[in-house]
Amino acid sequence: MESSRDWSDGFLVVGNQPALDLLNTQLLLDDRLQELLPDTSALVRWLLVSGIALTADAKSQLKTWSHTAEAKTFLRQLLAFREELREALLRLENDKQPSAAFLEDLNARLFAHPLRKAVVLRGGMLQSAQANGTSLADTLWASLLHEIGQLLTATDLARVRKCEHCVVHYLDVSKKNARRWCSMRLCGNKIKVAAYQQRQRQA
């Protein structure tokens, strides 16, 4: 049974950061890798629960957009980039720097899809607000890349780690910085039971 805190609309949301939850759209379930973004309709569902900042206008276009060739291209490119990001994070978690090729690709994407801002009047107050890009794919890339940039430059990367028991990555926000697994329900109980059984054998 899924814990409502760990899952949202079929997606694991334990990363505490949208870029990490993107990585976690590929999971190890029952000892098999499972792709949670097999098609553009799943992509739209994930975008809506991911915590990635999108304008109301962008959100309203997602369902119709999901049937377009642009959406299919976006998903294919996103899944490829997700694996580049995974490799970069695994390197960082092992005290190595991301590859020059990854940084070059990331920066090329950031330059191609800048996060656009506008000043708007809301309730008599001037506020900064996200603005749409030149296309919905451009808007989505800008928002996703912003989150990836935040993860890599504004996050304590010593607190970013991979679950000891599976492929899930997360940002440890616990006070003691002692989190060892993705979620109690998925892996924590298995680890605790295994440790208990080991102690019993040694007794």
Q: What is the pLDDT along the chain (203 residues), one digit of tens a residue?
A: 345 689 999 999 999 999 999 999 999 877 888 999 999 999 999 999 999 999 999 999 999 999 999 999 999 999 999 999 999 999 999 999 999 999 999 999 999 999 999 999 999 999 998 898 999 999 999 999 999 999 999 999 999 999 988 899 999 999 999 998 888 877 855 544 455 455 556 66
From the list 191, 150, 199, 131, the residue with the least C-alpha distance to 51 is 150
How many domains would you assign to the chain? Answer: 1
In a domain, 1, yes or no: no
Show the tokens assigned to 11.
């997606």
CA–CA distance, 187 with 172 (Å, rounded to integer): 15
CA–CA distance, 187 with 119 (Å, rounded to integer): 45
Contacts of 158 (CB under 8 A, 6+ apart): 177
Domain residues for 123? 7-202
Contacts of 63 (CB under 8 A, 6+ apart): 44
Neighbour tally for 113: CB within 10 Å: 21
In a domain, 20, yes or no: yes
Read off the CATH number of the domain in which 99 is found.
Answer: 1.10.3300.10
Place of tokens 């304590």: 156
Ramachandran angles phi, psi of 158, nearest 5°: -65, -20
pTM: 0.88
In a domain, 23, yes or no: yes
Residues in the chain: 203
